[in-house]
Amino acid sequence: MDIVTNEQLSVAIAMITGYLLGAIPVAERIGRRKGVDLFQSGTGLAGASNVRRTVGKKAGFFVMVADFAKGLAAVMLARGLGLDGSILLLVAASAIIGHWNSIFSRFRGGDGLASLAGVTVGLFPGFGYLSLVAAAVFSLVGHKIPYYALLAVIVAYCAILAAGTFYQADQHLIIGNGVLCGLVLAHATWGHISRHKKTMAIASEQIPSQNEVLQGRKSESL
């Protein structure tokens, strides 16, 4: 009796490879080539949005495509190993975790929105692209709305939910994709809150307190 089956070995290989693909630090490398430390600039994230903000639009677009490709490649590789169904969700999650916590960047990374889009298309190759269309249209129309990129994730999932119901896709994959969307949104929101608190703390340390100002004025008057 085999201790490890071929399927289990394939799952392990796919998950490890998925993590490593997601962990490829495309954004960080491009930032360094331009002399920009993304973790110390802009949003402090190694993602397409921060690259666009700190390096340039062309570089940001390239990173977005590359991060998308990482997620798509992870799931398609798993399919190539003969895996399907809910197991693909584990591989998709591995790719996103790799993007969040890259072993090549001291376990730092980005929000994973583009990688999420990639794994979504990989999970639903027949109609997954509809989520990209829905997110792109929403982003163009609502780009002035605060945190529109996060809202675009919800719009994209609604498109998957509708298309998946229409085409009678695997309900486990649809629900699992929703869980992945929720995790990415939660990770991005928590990261934003943490960075905002850190920024406010630094700002409060740099601004003298009211008592210090009053004491300074008293000293000047003496």
Q: How many domains does the chain have?
A: 1
Mean pLDDT across the stretch 151-161? 94
What letter represents residue 218's amino acid? K
Q: Is residue 171 a part of any domain in this protein? A: yes
Q: Is the pLDDT of residue 142 over 80?
A: yes
Taking only the tens place, the pLDDT of each residue in 28-43 is 999 999 999 999 998 8
Q: Is the pLDDT of residue 1 over 50?
A: no
Q: Is residue 1 a part of any domain in this protein? A: no
Q: Is residue 115 a part of any domain in this protein? A: yes
Question: pTM here?
Answer: 0.86
CA distance 139 to 113: 13
Q: Is residue 217 a part of any domain in this protein? A: no
Q: Is the pLDDT of residue 147 over 90?
A: no
Tokens matching residue 129: 């692209």
Range of the domain at 17: 6-209
Place of tokens 């998308």: 68
Nearest-CA neighbor of 47 among 33, 20, 28, 32?
Answer: 28
Q: Which pLDDT score, from 0 to 100, does residue 4 have?
A: 72
Q: Is residue 220 a part of any domain in this protein? A: no
Mean pLDDT in the chain?
A: 89
Say which residue, 107 or 212, is predicted with more confidence. 107
Taking only the tens place, the pLDDT of each residue in 80-102 is 999 999 999 999 999 999 999 99
Taking only the tens place, the pLDDT of each residue in 166-209 is 999 999 999 999 999 999 999 999 888 877 677 677 666 666 55
User: Degrees (nearest 5) of the Cα angle 101, 106, 109?
Assistant: 40
Taking only the tens place, the pLDDT of each residue in 51-65 is 999 999 999 999 999
Q: Is residue 221 a part of any domain in this protein? A: no
Ranges of H-type helices in 124-170? 129-141, 148-166
Q: Is residue 161 a part of any domain in this protein? A: yes
Q: Is residue 130 a part of any domain in this protein? A: yes
Q: Which pLDDT score, from 0 to 100, does residue 148 have?
A: 87
CA distance 59 to 38: 13
